[in-house]
Amino acid sequence: MNPSDRGREGADHVVDGVEEADDPLPSRWVTALVAVVAFGFGFGSARHAADLRPTLAGTLRDPVAAILAAGAKPAAEAMAVGAEVFRAHCASCHGLEGQGLIGPNLTDRYWLHGARPTDILRVVRNGVPANGMPAWGEALGSERSVSVAAFVASLRGRNLDGKEPQGLLVD
């Protein structure tokens, strides 16, 4: 420290002619910093809590519940509608019990286009034209598409004798 700087208030030391002062930050800067940090914690906590709620894309352990979360009907009613839609529109290719005819077996653990709830719903809505699966989204509407996707998800793991396995093994 320079002897001439000793009496100056706020000057800690001078290096190459540049003074470093130990003055406090303006109060509005401190207030803004505290507000930003508080907002960040609040926003992060809210996002984390929202991510913990079951969603169609996030709930993979119970695919039927995950698919039904996207629909408005109670589960039992939606499953009954899904079974009816399946018999009317899907059984001609997938068999009455989902065991597969022209279309793949829906009761085994092998799936061609993914076995997640979102995958099943996407295939029902958009179809797979290259494999002869029509898009049913417009014809069925949103609620019936969700119901039949939930019904299809409920068939997985029944392992009925039918068409040979196709696709990737899904646990």
Residues 108, 74 within the same domain: yes
User: Which has more pLDDT, 107 or 14?
Assistant: 107
Tens-digit pLDDT profile for residues 68-79? 665 556 778 888
Do the beta carbons of residue 78 and residue 150 sit within 8 Å?
A: yes
List Cα–Cα distances, 54 to 8, 49, 102, 125, 143, in angstroms: 63, 11, 35, 22, 19
Domain tally, the chain: 2
Is residue 18 situated within a structural domain?
yes
Q: Which residue segment(s) compose the domain that 136 sits in?
A: 63-169
Q: Provide the pLDDT for residue 33.
A: 93
Residues 23, 89 within the same domain: no
List Cα–Cα distances, 164 to 13, 71, 108, 139, in angstroms: 83, 32, 9, 29
Q: Provide the pLDDT for residue 69.
A: 66
Is residue 133 situated within a structural domain?
yes
Nearest Cα neighbor of 125 from 152, 144, 145, 150 is 145
Residues 135 and 146: their CA atoms lie apart, in Å, by 13
Do the beta carbons of residue 4 and residue 17 sit within 8 Å?
A: no
Residues 48, 109 within the same domain: no
Residues 145, 78 within the same domain: yes
Residues 38, 104 within the same domain: no
Span between the terminal Cα atoms of the chain, in Å: 72
Most confident of 2-11, 36-45, 99-108: 99-108
Is residue 37 situated within a structural domain?
yes
Residues 139, 68 within the same domain: yes
**pLDDT over 60 at 44, yes or no:** yes
Task: Give the rounded percent of residues in the chain with a pLDDT score beyond 90.
Answer: 52
Tens-digit pLDDT profile for residues 126-137? 999 999 999 999
